[in-house]
Amino acid sequence: MASETVLELREIEAGYGRAALVLRGLSVTVRQGEVVCLVGPNGAGKSTVLKVASGLLAPRSGTVQLSGADVTGRTPQALLGLGLAHVLQGHSVFREMTVEENIRLGGYTVRDPAVLRKRVAAVKEIFPVVGERWTSIAGLLSGGQQKQVEFARALMLEPKVVLLDEPSMGLDPKTTQTVFDQIDLMRQTGVAVLLVEQNARRALEMADVGCVLDLGRVHISGPARDLAADSRLGALYLGGAAAREAGEQSPAAGQADVR
């Protein structure tokens, strides 16, 4: 049975100020318990997709749907309340605060102490390092540990979908592996993940669906493991022209929807 569609971006056109469009008719669908990975060269518009989805950037046209409801143009706070969490690029923990304070801030809008306790216990189970370093100052943790604290904080409101922007940025290969494992654990809890990652091959090996972006559109899409082995992926990273040439030869290329 097909999983429920959690997040759907349809025919999105978006850009910054009066500058040219960054996204040109992009569509992406993310289903429950699924990791969708967006890869592509610099400037392809990967992070812009996440900004539109999380309400940080209003699209010029197109719609954003969360669990079937149109949420286009809603604020990040409103979307957070509706079950969409965004983990920003780089380290976004509150560095001078303890791990405990960081995690509790994730559930700041939860008033019921019993619910809060339950959620804290749940994230400690998924991310053991959170419990182990509960009283530590977050800024003193390693890069990988800080990333896990960010993931745990994002899960405190039990989101339906988590947007992850370059979670492996600045991390060594071993720590990157840990971070990808934690994303896998999030997926196992039923959370949908929309992932933007420069470490394309490694991310596609872990994701369910891959979308290769170029010039603001989904250029190639399909099962992530197949994409990881696709020679066009390398061509796209080596040069846009080569990729476009390769894309023109593929009947699947240029189709906006993931499926």
Partner 1 sequence: MRSGSRYGLLALGAALVIAYPWLAPNTYLLYAGVLTVMYAVLATSWNLLGGFTGYVSLGHSAFFGLGAYGTGLLVTKADWPWIPALLVSALVVAVFAGLVGVAAVRVRGASFVIVSIALVSMMNLLVQGWRSLTGGSTGLRVPTPFRELNRGESHLVFFYLFLVLLVLALLTWWVISRSRFGSGLKAIREDEDKAESLGVPTTAFKVVAYGLSALFVALAGGLYALWFRSLDPIFVFSILVGSYMVLMSLLGGVRHLFGPLLGALIVAPAGEYFLVALGESQIHLTATGVLLVLVVMFMPEGIIPAVAKLVRRFRPPEASIREETAEQRSKEAVA
Which residues contact partner 1 by CB under 8 A? 76-77, 80-81, 86, 88, 92, 94-97, 101, 104-106, 108-109, 128-129, 132-133, 142, 144-145, 153, 174-175, 177-178, 181-182, 184-185
Number of Cβ atoms within 10 Å of the Cβ of 161: 25
Q: Could you give the CA distance from residue 153 to residue 174 in angstroms, rounded to a whole number? A: 22
The minimum distance between CB 145 and partner 1, in angstroms, equals: 7
Q: How many whole angstroms from its chain centre is CA 107?
A: 20
CB of 78 to partner 1, least distance (A): 10
Least CB distance to partner 1 at residue 231 (A): 29
In the complex with partner 1, the residue whose CB is nearer, 5 or 92, is 92
* Minimum CB distance to partner 1, residue 15 (Å): 21
Burial 126-158 (b: 16+ CB within 10 A, else e): bbebbbebeeebbeebebbbbbbbbbbbbbbbb
CB of 182 to partner 1, least distance (A): 7
Closer residue to partner 1, CB minimum distance, 27 or 98: 98
Residues near 243 by Cβ (< 8 Å), separated by ≥ 6? 214, 219, 232, 235, 236, 237
In angstroms, rounded to a whole number, what is the distance separating the alpha carbons of residues 239 and 37? 20
Which is closer to partner 1, CB of 10 or CB of 133? Answer: 133
Q: What's the CA gap between 120 and 214, in Å, rounded? A: 40
Structure tokens at 181: 């494992």
Q: Which CB, 150 or 214, lies closer to partner 1? A: 150
Please, what is the minimum distance in Å from the beta carbon of residue 236 to partner 1? Answer: 29
Report CA-CA distances (Å) from 28 to 15, 98, 240.
17, 37, 21
Report the residue number, 184 or 226, with the smaller CB distance to partner 1.
Answer: 184
Instruction: Choose between 43 and 170: whose C-beta lies nearer to partner 1.
Output: 170
For the CB of residue 56, give the shortest distance to partner 1 in the complex, in Å: 9
Q: Which DSSP string do the residues of 163-217 spell out, in sequence order?
A: EEE-TTTT--HHHHHHHHHHHHHHHHTT-EEEEE-SSHHHHHHH-SEEEEEETTE
Report the alpha-carbon distance of residue 229 to residue 201 in Å, rounded.
8
Alpha-carbon distance 105 to 99, whole Å?
Answer: 10
Residue nearer to partner 1 on the CB measure, 3 or 75: 75
**2 token code pair:** 């097909």
